[in-house]
Chains A and B, each alone.
Chain A
Amino acid sequence: MMTDTRSLNVNILPCPTWNKLSVNRATVDISSFSKEKEKPQFTLNNLGPVRRTKIRAVEAEKYADSLSDGIRREAYIAGKRAIYQEQHFQTGLGRELTDFLLENVDEAEIYTVPEAAEVYAPVILKWEFGKTGHSASMQVIHALKDSHSTFLIFTKSEKEASGELMMETKVILEEGATVNLIKVNLLGDGITVLNDTGALLRDNATFNFTQMVLGGNKNYVGCFADQCGDNTIFNINAGYLVNKDHLLDINYHGAMRGKNSDAKIFVKGSLSDSARKVFRGTIDFRKGSKGSKGDEQEDVLLLTPGVINKTVPVILTEEEDVDGRHGATVGNLLPDMLYYLGTRGIDSKAAEMLITRGRLLSIANTIPDDETVNFINLFIREAFEVNECF
């Protein structure tokens, strides 16, 4: 049986904080990860004109690297010693996960979207776990010039399932390409998830990334976008629901290097019980990003005492003609609102569910797959143990 006693450092901020809140990085214990566990069932639907190539993982890595000119390594960021890891094609979780996957994944897939193709029905990659499972996968999505495509990566399991899921998705968007990448996690209470994304955007490319993290025991998710081209757009819409003693650790980063680019990171979610959450969001105006705009917003709903909510919304600016902003709001359900709903026969548990569902469905409803949206709806209701009339 293969086990690993190592831990991985992931989701590393580009510049150090005081670290009084221990948010400079996350450390993942991977000693219980085992390839011997059952493999989840994988299905692929709606491939359409998209070409799928299976290739050795190391070759896929070289392929992605060959398309990236790499972000220059900086000794200092914000005048401080940079702490992020050097990684040619940068991703949110970072190099240590990539290295680990390269050791543990035999085959990766390259999905090539043909030039000028318009693929509106989502290509659906689904992993379904049984009671236990181990999944490690790497994908490269290469969207050629002026193509338009949507990919939905859906992971689900039984409620009590355990195991681990590790995934790295690299997206290369050639000039004028648009990719909508949707990642949905409806996994069980015993699954540890490391779900990583990296994107490279050439001129006029648009990358819309939607992430729903509703299940899993410990979730480490990240996305890094290298906006190396001019007039690029990078949008993140993320929603989460973290309850029980679960952990969610997020690192989203938009690095604008080309002119007139746009990065938006919008995150909203609910925390309850003794849940813990860390959100790191970085809007990064690099040299050359004149005329660019960045915005990051997080809206957190705290449903019970005992939660730990950490937020680090960073803006780095080394260019003058830019417009960057961030905002964060942390609050709870107002007593007036609960009272009002109570007078309509809706108890506090149902009220919490309704408010949370409303927030999360505002993101989920943009997913162009009804079955997935229904699963999300059901998952939220079950999480609150609220009866079907809601």
Chain B
Amino acid sequence: MNNMETEGAIHYDPAIDNSVDDINAYLEGTDRSLYNFRDESTDYYKVDSGLTRDIVDKISEEKHDPEWMHEFRLKCLDIYNNLNVPQWGPPIDGLNMDNIVTYVRPNTDMKASWDQVPEEIKSAFDKLGIPQAEHEFLAGVGAQYDSELVYHNLQESVAKMGVVYSDMESALNGPYKDMVKEYFMHLVPPTDHKFAALHGAVWSGGSFVYIPKGVKVEVPLQSYFRLNAKGAGQFEHTLIIVDEGADLHFIEGCSAPKWNVANLHAGCVELYVKKNARLRYSTIENWAKNMYNLNTKRAIVEEGGRMEWVSGSFGSHVSYLYPTTILKGDKSSCEYTGITFSGKGQDLDTGCRMVHMGKRSSSLITAKSLAKDGGINTFRSEIKVLPEAEASKSSVDCQSLMLDDISRSDTIPEIDVRVDNCDIGHEAKIGRISDEAVFYLMSRGIPENEAKAMIVSGFANPISKELPLEYAAEMNNLIKLEMEGSMI
């Protein structure tokens, strides 16, 4: 039975200009429950809750793992059992692994046509606008429902260029199995932290992307992750290799309905950016507010390569999210642009890490955050410049906006420099909406509520302008929804 609580998807017009006003105008009439619909009928198969060797064996069997992967999962389980929960982040006492179902397979296998996807699942993605977005501006789409991909497709013209975009399971057993074995969880080893080990033990779903040398994919690929099942975890693995001189924009979206029990997301993203290649990885995260989002993302960039992170964090009860970039090659570079919006009951601990190893490597961090209704925002960053990273540059700009006096906003940046000829700058600012700015707008006939909303949209604009229009619109929609009721 579909427990659908809302109708009303956003209908985008790609011709519209990507400006704040236009986007906001576009979003008139949107609804908070847009992301909060549930389907309680699709959990066709699930393992028992908790984490035991039997469960890991069962997942491995269900997924037809090669032997090395099965052994790897068991090794990860061992590591998981021997590592402690991190003590530096927001409390995760409400997360009890004994209650988490680590594998839920929906009632379908993966399809290459939306028409073949079961109606109740297709309906969910329809509401999220995924098929429409694919039709209008994406080169390929992977759609995951709970633990498995239900839809995967790549435009024929892009496939002819040699681009590989498949689900992880197919990659693991297909022509690229050696490449998967070579790269899988090498950048994020299971010893990295407890939830990386958990991921290694129970991962399922996710995407494998390989962009051959010199191939520039003009339109983005997208994976969308929908976690529907109550009390479940999602552990998708994304592995992207952009070979020398290649170029890709990859978009990741995620959402879930709200349940009255804890859900867990412990995905893992490993990105390899080869010599002179470029990868942009954009994420709009809108998990439900019962979600523990303990996600790990890491990129390694070789000589002359460029990594770009664009990140919007809106959902989750608790988030630990710090995309890390290892600037290994000379003249490699990275830009991180992120926004975090925390509201009632949310403790979002986000930020990024940059490790400079290559000479003349450079990094630029622009982070913004908003806190309201008792939400807690923490921005963490780490800039590490190793002795060999001569003549490197890094700049961090962090701005936080407090929307009331019951919220918290903190910045905890760290800088570690071990070479003399480098140029490192860091700036951070925390404040509230300026009375003068509100007064100015009100003196021009704009009501106070709208004036404040305009200021918040303007604050977020440097992030939204980095996104494709449709995602900028989604992000502004999320900001609009978060702002509802906060200004009287």
Contact = CB atoms under 8 A, between A and B. Distances in A.
Interface of A: 15-21, 23, 76-81, 285, 290, 300, 302-332
Contacts of A326: 411, 426-428
B387 A305 contact: yes
Nearest to B349: A79
Contacts of A302: 417, 419-422
Interface stretch (B40-48, B121-129, B199-207, B378-386): B378-386
A327 B427 contact: yes
Contact of B412 (A15, A305, A327): A15
Contacts of B404: 320
Interface residues of B, number: 44
B87 interface: yes
Nearest to A325: B429
B403 A20 contact: no
Contacts of A306: 387, 418, 420
A81 B86 CA distance: 11
Contacts of B412: 15, 17, 78, 312, 314
Most B CB contacts (10 A, CB to CB) among A80, A316, A332 go to A80
B382 A331 contact: no
Contacts of A318: 407-408
A17 B415 contact: no
B131 interface: no
Contact of A18 (B382, B418, B432): B382
B79 interface: no
Contact of B403 (A23, A320, A324): A320
Nearest to B394: A330
A311 B427 contact: no
A309 B378 contact: no
Contacts of B427: 325-327
Contacts, number: 154
Given A80-B378, A81-B87, A328-B415, A317 B420 contact: no
A311 B415 contact: yes
A328 B414 contact: no
Top 6 closest A-B pairs, CB basis? Answer: A16-B88, A320-B405, A78-B410, A302-B420, A330-B424, A79-B376
B288 interface: no
Contacts of A19: 88
B342 to A, nearest CB: 10
B408 A317 contact: yes
Contact of B420 (A23, A78, A303, A316): A303
Contacts of A331: 422-424
B380 A328 contact: no
A323 to B, nearest CB: 5
A384 B117 CA distance: 75
Nearest to B424: A330
Contacts of A81: 87, 91
B420 A304 contact: yes
Nearest to A20: B382
B214 interface: no
Main secondary structure of the interface of A (DSSP, over half): strand
A81 B410 CA distance: 14
B422 A330 contact: yes
A80 B417 CA distance: 26
B411 A322 contact: no
Contact of B384 (A21, A303, A329): A21
17 contacts: A16-B88, A18-B380, A21-B414, A23-B414, A80-B90, A80-B91, A80-B349, A302-B422, A308-B416, A310-B414, A312-B415, A313-B426, A323-B430, A325-B430, A326-B428, A327-B426, A330-B422
A321 B411 CA distance: 17
B414 A305 contact: no
B431 interface: yes
B409 A21 contact: no
Contacts of B384: 21
B426 A328 contact: yes
Contacts of B418: 306-309
A21 B416 contact: yes
B162 interface: no
A329 B416 contact: no
A332 B424 CA distance: 10
A329 B425 CA distance: 5
B263 interface: no
B143 interface: no
A319 B419 CA distance: 38
B411 A314 contact: yes
A144 B387 CA distance: 51
Nearest to A313: B413
A256 B425 CA distance: 26
Contacts of A316: 408, 410
A315 B424 CA distance: 19
Given A317-B402, A317-B408, A331-B422, A322 B431 contact: yes
A317 B430 contact: yes
B402 A309 contact: no
Contact of A79 (B90, B413, B428, B431): B90
Interface string B359-396: 00000000000000000101010101001000000000
B416 A310 contact: yes
A327 B422 contact: no
A23 B88 CA distance: 12
A317 B377 CA distance: 10
A309 B420 CA distance: 9
Given A311-B414, A312-B412, A321 B376 contact: no
Given A18-B382, A285-B430, 6 more contacts: A76-B91, A79-B347, A79-B378, A306-B420, A311-B414, A330-B415
Given A327-B427, A329-B425, A332-B422, A17 B416 contact: no
B292 to A, nearest CB: 14
